[in-house]
Amino acid sequence: MSNDHLYAVIMAGGIGSRLWPRSRAATPKQFLDLASERSMLRETVDRIRPLVPVERILVVTGEEHRETVLGQVPGLPGENVLLEPAPKGTAPCIGLAAVALLARDNDAIMAVFPADHVIADAAGFRRAIAAAAQVAEEGQLVTLGIAPDRPETGYGYIRRGELLGTYDDHPVFHVQCFAEKPDEARARTFVESGEYYWNGGIFIWEAATILWEMAGLLPELYGELQSVAEVWDAPECLPRLHEAWQALPQITIDYGVMEKAQRVVTLPVDIGWSDVGNWAALSALLAADENDNVVRGPGRVLAPGSRGSYLYASAGRLVVAVGLEDFVVVDTPDALLICPKDQAQDVRDVVRELQAQDLQEYL
Amino acid sequence: MSNDHLYAVIMAGGIGSRLWPRSRAATPKQFLDLASERSMLRETVDRIRPLVPVERILVVTGEEHRETVLGQVPGLPGENVLLEPAPKGTAPCIGLAAVALLARDNDAIMAVFPADHVIADAAGFRRAIAAAAQVAEEGQLVTLGIAPDRPETGYGYIRRGELLGTYDDHPVFHVQCFAEKPDEARARTFVESGEYYWNGGIFIWEAATILWEMAGLLPELYGELQSVAEVWDAPECLPRLHEAWQALPQITIDYGVMEKAQRVVTLPVDIGWSDVGNWAALSALLAADENDNVVRGPGRVLAPGSRGSYLYASAGRLVVAVGLEDFVVVDTPDALLICPKDQAQDVRDVVRELQAQDLQEYL
């Protein structure tokens, strides 16, 4: 097949609060060089680029991040940065991208993924997307199913049903159901069954198909999107968009569409995927020293007697961590986090507490 | 007795490396507000002041700290700041103070103590000093014996001998011997015997007597001190002092004089003394919150799930410490220390490592 109608839609609107204090309102996770020397957004673009040229890459983000996106992605046309007036969950974000693509290309196929994931096997990822695009051309909603390597309780799962067919050596299955984040016992059953995959939030479908599904399943959202689409290239588009977004409730594509639509399929992959959901997950991805510590950042770190810890020092700072075991230490110019790795998930609660105390300067 | 000849000599030349990263070369421990709202030096002055007016208080420190001392001790006459050309241990420091006092007052009695200790019972401290001054008038070298409340292995001990006499209700004993820092088993025996006291480094004696002892026990030091004394008020005093100090070896008053002199006595006290030797010792002195945490500093601290820890945030900084148990966290504008309380003593090794790595900016 030709990929001329294949577009990448990179969702870069998250706040990454579990990666606080590096991830902040002004520079959330996806704009940071967390896992490599380059920002996660840049890595995400570079990963898809050999398959989708930059002219067909859309980045959806908040207005305040437009310059950051353009600065981090050389060659990205300005009109490919799609600005959401407010974060309203993945369904409106994807719907808006679909509208933008249909305004360009009636046959647009969109591969949608977050800007803040790590995928070790980039070539495998691109092969999977190319195969999924063929399935999408048949009007299916394709979601990548991440082969689980552990009974993770932090992710949703996809249960596969019967085989739909094989595309470029990739078997594709009907989705039997989606399962919310399970407890550990259930997660273990899931993994042992061989029938469950992690829901990594990577979707491939035709722009027309997803809008058609929204028309049936999310009519309110669809109505607002239509009203925006009708004035797409006109001056009144921007005020219309703002008005539309103000009215919308928060809704995810999983809950709003995927769990209810009919033609939902999954294409399993084993591509070294991680959502880098928290500091412990990030640490697990990075090379450790002889004491099993991961030491990062432009600043200096001394770690006498520390083991199994992630230690980050910002520019000009010296971090001395004595006798820490399996901790995360993230030291930024104004804020410091010290947290056991097994509580890294709860950093979100810290951010909520800062919000509750109105400590805006640290958010 | 009248106290007109009683002088206080406050030794403020230490570097307090175990209190790094707040204690730094430019602002060592004694100039910091570690245990209260005021600097330790200021607290030390205020503690003795009701007994010894500021005109008879001498502060011995390094040249680089002269302005700090005058700024922290209002009313201290400039000539009462005695500048050591280099730190050479307590014996030269005390010898120099004795020379300075004898130049003013042939009958001077000097109460010598460090600027960086905490004493909860200030009135009891002053009563003990006043009583010790009477003993000193008899030509004795008096050292306060701190009643031990635990088998501490970090201090030297004094073993008392026979009773010399009782002075203002204070029994005073001959010193049988000094014991170096013991292991824990020996320390326990010491404490259980009731015959041992901690050597807190607080001495009371006549200036003439201590110089006379130095003449016999530390003739080299005595010779240099005499050469300084002979030109005390002349312009050549300062170069002479520098020359003398250059030649001197490091020597403590304990090793150089106390362990060898004949007329050494101890006056036991129970006055809530602490040398604030490290962050754990400091923490133990301060009021803890409902989670047994001691939270200090001008910055903000959040400590969800942390217990028994000392947490310090400097101005403008936010410290979030999750799930720490019995740790010390000291966050300064450029350097951070995280250390288990039971390894607080080893912070000195961190400072040595910084010196070895020539990281001057953090010293």
Q: What is the mean pLDDT of residues B185-213?
A: 97
Q: How confident is the model at residue B170 (pLDDT cuts 50, 70, 90)?
A: very high
Residue A257 backbone dihedrals phi, psi, to 5 degrees: -125, -55
Task: Pick the residue from chain B with its C-alpha nearest to A305.
Answer: B339
pLDDT tens digit string along B120-142? 999 999 999 999 999 999 999 99
**Scanning every residue of chain B, which has its alpha carbon at the shortest distance from the alpha carbon of A331?**
B336
Which residues does chain A have within 8 Å of residue B319's beta carbon, measured at their own beta carbons?
335-336, 338
Identify which of A313, A322, A350 has the shortest CB distance to residue B302. Answer: A350
Alpha-helical segments (H) within chain A: 40-48, 66-72, 90-102, 122-136, 184-193, 207-217, 219-230, 237-247, 253, 279-285, 347-356
Q: Which of A305, A317, A359 sits opposite B336 (nearest CB)?
A: A317
- pLDDT per position as a tens digit, B227-260: 999 999 999 999 999 999 998 999 999 999 999 9
Query: Which residues does chain B have within 8 Å of residue A24's beta carbon, measured at their own beta carbons?
Result: none
pLDDT digits 0-9 by tens, B330-349: 999 999 999 999 999 999 99
Q: How far apart are CA A329 and CA B309, in angstroms?
A: 16
Residues near A131 by beta carbon (within 8 Å), at least 6 away in sequence: A167, A168, A169, A170, A172, A267
pLDDT for res A3: 79
Q: Which of residues 264-303 of A touch B (CB under 8 A)?
A: 300, 302
Please, are residues A195 and A211 in contact by the beta-carbon 8 Å criterion? Answer: no
What is residue B167's three-state secondary structure? Answer: strand
Residues with Cβ within 8 Å of residue A300, at least 6 apart in sequence: A313, A317, A318, A319, B359
Q: Does A307 touch chain B (CB under 8 A)?
A: no
Determine the residue of chain A that is closest to B328 in CA distance.
A322
Question: From CA B261, how far away is CA A172, in angstroms rounded?
Answer: 93
Whether residue A295 has pLDDT greater than 80: yes
The pLDDT > 70 percentage for chain B reads 99
Q: Do A304 and B362 touch (CB under 8 A)?
A: no
Residue B111 CA to residue B91 CA, distance in Å, equals: 14
Query: By the 8 A CB rule, do A23 and A32 touch?
Result: yes
Q: What percent of chain A has pLDDT over 70?
A: 99
Q: Which of B334, B343, B353 sits opposite A316 (nearest CB)?
A: B334
Structure confidence by residue, pLDDT tens digits, A226-258 = 999 999 999 999 999 999 999 899 999 999 999
B352 touches chain A (CB under 8 A): no
Q: Kindly report the nearest CA distance between residue B334 and chain A, in angstroms.
A: 5
**What ipTM does the predicted assembly reach?**
0.91
Say how many CB pairs under 8 Å bridge A and B: 94
B284–chain A nearest CA distance, Å? 20
Contact list in B for residue A295 (CB cut-off 8 A) is: none
Residue of chain A minimizing CA distance to B345: A322
Mean pLDDT across the stretch A166-176?
97
Question: How distant is the Cα of A79 from the closest Cα of chain B, in angstroms?
Answer: 39
Report the pLDDT value the prediction gives residue B2, as an integer from 0 to 100.
55
In this prediction, residues B62-88 reach a mean pLDDT of 96
The closest of A38, A86, A83, A36 to A59, measured between CA atoms, is A83
Question: Using CA atoms, how far apart are residues B192 and B208, in angstroms rounded to an integer?
Answer: 37
Count the Cβ atoms, other than its own, within 10 Å of residue B257.
Answer: 25
- CB-CB neighbours of B26 under 10 Å: 9
Q: How many helices (H) does chain A have, and how many strands (E)?
A: 11, 17
Q: Are B244 and B228 in contact (CB under 8 A)?
A: yes
With an 8 Å Cβ cutoff, are B338 and A317 in contact? no
Q: How many CB atoms lie within 10 A of CB A79?
A: 9
pLDDT band for position A1 (cuts 50, 70, 90): very low
Entry pTM = 0.91
Mean predicted confidence (pLDDT) in B276-302: 96
Could you tell me where the beta strands, DSSP code E, fall in B63-156? 81-84, 109-114, 118-119, 141-146
At B101 the pLDDT is 98
Lowest-pLDDT choice from B2-11, B54-63, B65-74, B277-286: B2-11
Contact with chain A for residue B242, Cβ under 8 A: no
Within 10 Å of residue A139's Cβ, how many Cβ atoms?
12
Average pLDDT over residues A250-270: 97
- B166, β-bridge pairs: B171
Q: What DSSP line would sit under A233-286, residue for residue?
A: TSTTHHHHHHHHHHHPPP--HIIIIITT-SSEEEEEE-S-EE---SHHHHHHHS
Q: Which two tokens mark A19?
A: 């990666």
For residue A289, give how far its alpha carbon lies from the nearest alpha carbon of chain B (Å): 19
pLDDT digits (tens, 9 = 90+) for B73-85: 999 999 999 999 9
Q: Do A350 and B320 touch (CB under 8 A)?
A: yes
- Distance from the Cα of B324 to chain A's closest Cα (Å) equals 8
- The chain-wide mean pLDDT, for chain A, equals 96
Q: Chain B: nearest CA to A316, how far in angstroms?
A: 7
Distances in Å between the Cα of A356 and the Cα atoms of A351, A353, A359, A363 are 9, 5, 8, 11
Quick check: A237 and A82 in contact, CB under 8 A?
A: no
Which one of A302, A316, A359 has the shortest CB-CB distance to B350? A302
State how far residue B312 is from chain A, nearest Cα, in angstroms: 11
Closest of B123, B143, B144 to residue B49, by C-alpha: B123
Query: Looking at beta carbons, which residues of chain A come within 8 Å of B362?
Result: 318
Residue B213: the pLDDT is 98
Closest Cα of chain A to B223: distance in Å? 45
Are the C-beta atoms of A304 and A322 separated by less than 8 Å? yes
The whole-number pLDDT of residue B156 equals 95
Contacts of A340 in chain B (CB under 8 A): 322-323
**Are B107 and B216 spatial neighbours (Cβ–Cβ below 8 Å)?**
no
Look up residue A83 and give its amino acid: L
The predicted pLDDT at position B3 comes to 79
Sign, CA torsion B210/B211/B213/B217: positive
Residues of chain A positioned with their CB less than 8 A from the CB of B347: 322
Mean pLDDT across A134-141: 98
pLDDT of B1 strictly over 80 = no
Mean pLDDT of B159-178: 97
Please report residues of A whose CB lies closer than 8 A to that of B359. Answer: 300, 318
Can you give the pLDDT at residue A49? Answer: 96
Which site among B322, B330, B353, B359 would you substitute to test the A interface, given the most A Cβ atoms closer than 10 Å to its Cβ?
Answer: B322
What backbone torsions phi and psi does residue B199 show, to the nearest 5 degrees?
Answer: -90, 100
